[in-house]
Every structure is written in structure tokens, then in C-alpha cells.
């Protein structure tokens, strides 16, 4: 397994959801391990007392998180994967030709 570079670690940490969002997702989805942490207990109480407010807060955090991911753009590895070299293009052409042949046989 390849070791992550410092740049990859920083990029991953920028993309990780905030801890409050992770905790709220766990409470909302009902997959919190027991015993709960104090913050999880408070969030559980908020959800029980005001489920609509909790859901609205969760939706707001999800929206902010998605906006952050969109602003960061694609990951470096995703960008690299998009780039095709001549060999990749040739393989894609050959596969397309073979697919056309198979379609003609059906």
C-alpha cells in the first residue's frame, strides 16, 4: 500500500466532514455506539426535543459541507485519472471497435 504524501493528507483533511456533522449524522441515522460521548448525548436530546430543528440544522450543515467540496473541486488523483495518454486512447478505440462487432453479432 502506498504511503500518502503530505499534500494528499492535507487534501483529505480539507474534504473530511466537520466532527459536528459526523456526530449529527450518527444520531440521525441511529448508529451511535454506546456509551455515547457527552456531545452525542446533547445532540440526542436536541433531536428528541426538537426533531424538525435538528433536521434543519443537519440539512444546513450538509449543504455547507457540499458547497465546500464543490469549491475545492475534484481531487488531485481524480484530475490525474481524467488525463488520457495515447495508450489509453488506443485501448478505448479498440474496445469501441470490439463492442460494435459484438453488437453486430446480436
Domain ranges of the chain: 6-105
Question: Tell me, what's the pLDDT at 8?
Answer: 63
Instruction: Summarize the confidence of residues 9-18 as an average pLDDT.
Output: 74
**Residue 21 pLDDT > 60:** yes
Question: How far is it, in rounded angstroms, from Cα 31 to Cα 10?
Answer: 28
Statement: the pTM of the whole predicted model exceeds 0.85: no
Question: Tell me, what's the pLDDT at 106?
Answer: 52
Instruction: Summarize the confidence of residues 34-53 as an average pLDDT.
Output: 93
First to last CA, the chain: 42
User: CB within 8 A of 25, min separation 6: which ones?
Assistant: 17, 58
Question: How far is it, in rounded angstroms, from Cα 53 to Cα 59?
Answer: 10
- Dig out the grid coordinates for 97 from the structure: 471497435
Amino acid at each position: 500500500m502506498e504511503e500518502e504524501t503530505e499534500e494528499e493528507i492535507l487534501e483529505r483533511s480539507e474534504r473530511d466532514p466537520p466532527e459536528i456533522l459526523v456526530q449529527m449524522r450518527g444520531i440521525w441515522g441511529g448508529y451511535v455506539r454506546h456509551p455515547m460521548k457527552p456531545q452525542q448525548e446533547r445532540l440526542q436530546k436536541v433531536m428528541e426535543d426538537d426533531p424538525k430543528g435538528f433536521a434543519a440544522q443537519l440539512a444546513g450543515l450538509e449543504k455547507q459541507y457540499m458547497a465546500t467540496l464543490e469549491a475545492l473541486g475534484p481531487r488531485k488523483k481524480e484530475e490525474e485519472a481524467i488525463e488520457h495518454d495515447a495508450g489509453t486512447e488506443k485501448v478505448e478505440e479498440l474496445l469501441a471497435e470490439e463492442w460494435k462487432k459484438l453488437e453486430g453479432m446480436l
